[in-house]
A and B are shown apart, each in its own frame.
Chain A
Amino acid sequence: MDPTRTGPIALAESRMRWLDARQRVLSHNVANADTPGFRPSDLRPFGQAVHAAMVQTNGRHLGPAGGADPRARAERRVPDRSMDGNGVALDREAMRIADTETAHALAVGLHRRYLGLFRTALGRNS
């Protein structure tokens, strides 16, 4: 069994990858806070993305529900748009960025902790 391909380590890695991509999308939103007509976008929730990435190991297993595209999509409903048609609210983006940062810290911590377990099992934890 390759511990990096399955279980918490792989999950933490895909979570980090998703958070990296989200940070890029959010920074693009903030950079365009003054661009007329710009619509902010966000990624699909991680739960949907990880569901789509699940591999069916047996034909009789239930497949993932609905194919989710992890790429960014423009928000359908923007609560407040300014006069120039821009839909970026800096406070909302700030909240999302804070969420992303916290989740990233958690994912990195989890990754580290599990690698530490393997290190302990190998007797290298000095």
Chain B
Amino acid sequence: MDLDRALRISAAGMQAQSTRLRVVAENLANRDSTAETAGGDPYRRKTVTFRNRMDRALGAPTLQVTRVGRAQGDFPVRHDPSHPAADARGYVRMPNVDSLVETMDMREAQRSYTANLSVLEVTRGMLTRTIEALRG
């Protein structure tokens, strides 16, 4: 039934967006996670990749998070010779997490999640109405 599929497509979209939100939370939580050893690499920002995959059980393509990758890019450095992760010259490499980027990503994920939720509610209303029609 198509309404049932619509429900599941929206649910898959919500799930993908919540995974994205979880990754954003992880990135923000690790904003200051430096390495524990001298000159080591700090936390590297995680990224999500979405793709439509054919759901065989459903017979329709649904959105899925295919990969949680790591963002390339240089680490900003901070001068702090007393830090355990500082290199020989006294610089500490900081994670490549930009809180502005993460905040924007979070907003977008939230917006998409809400949109999917609204569609799900409308579809559920339509489904309920159809079932009520059976009662006569």
Query: A97 at interface (Cβ–Cβ under 8 A)?
Result: yes
How many A-B Cβ pairs are below 8 Å? 94
| B62 is an interface residue with CB less than 8 A from chain A | yes
* Cβ contact of A27, chosen from B51, B123, B132, B133, cutoff 8 A: B123
Question: Which residues of B (29-62) have their CB < 8 Å from a CB of A?
Answer: 50-52, 60-62
- Which candidate, B69-77, B80-88, B89-97, B109-117, is the interface stretch facing chain A? B109-117
Number of B interface residues in the complex (CB < 8 A): 37
* Residue of A21, A30, A116 with most partner-chain B CB within 10 A: A30
A101 touches B112 (CB 8 A): no
A104's partner among B52, B62, B118, B126 (CB-CB below 8 A) is: B126
A78 within 8 A of B: no
Q: Using an 8 Å CB-CB cutoff, how does the interface string of A9-32 with B read, 1 for contact, 0 for none?
A: 000000011011101101110111
**Chain A residues bordering chain B, tally (CB within 8 A):** 32
Contact with A along B1-45 (1 / 0, CB 8 A): 111011101101100110000000000000000000000000000
Report which A residues bind B (CB closer than 8 A): 16-17, 19-21, 23-24, 26-28, 30-35, 38, 90, 93-94, 97-98, 100-101, 104-105, 108, 111-112, 115-116, 119
Binding site for A on B (CB under 8 A): 1-3, 5-7, 9-10, 12-13, 16-17, 50-52, 60-63, 108-109, 111-112, 115-116, 118-120, 122-123, 125-126, 129-130, 132-133, 136
